[in-house]
């Protein structure tokens, strides 16, 4: 399920919908954390930090 949110977040990025990107990536991060998939969690968090710096 986390992968689905991650993928949909990518599609929203292509479609230019940054708020939906943020929501889906946050949900993906939560699910990766619940799955103890720390590598994926950290990658998603890094993406979210970059988006925040870009004003997204």
Query: For 3-49, how does the pLDDT look when each residue is reduced to its tens digit (9 = 90+)?
Result: 999 999 999 999 999 999 999 999 999 999 999 999 999 999 999 99
pLDDT given at position 56: 54
Residue 18's pLDDT is 95
Say how many CA atoms lie within 13 Å of 56 toward its Cβ: 19
Q: Kindly report the pTM of this predicted structure.
A: 0.93
CB-CB neighbours of 37 under 10 Å: 15
Q: What local confidence, expressed as pLDDT, does residue 55 receive?
A: 82
Structure tokens at 52: 């925040």
């Amino acid at each position: 399920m986390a992968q689905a949110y991650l993928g949909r977040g990518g599609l929203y990025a292509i479609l230019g919908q940054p708020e939906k990107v943020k929501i889906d990536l946050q949900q993906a991060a939560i699910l990766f954390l619940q799955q103890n998939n720390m590598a994926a969690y950290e990658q998603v968090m890094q993406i979210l930090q970059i988006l925040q710096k870009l004003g997204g």
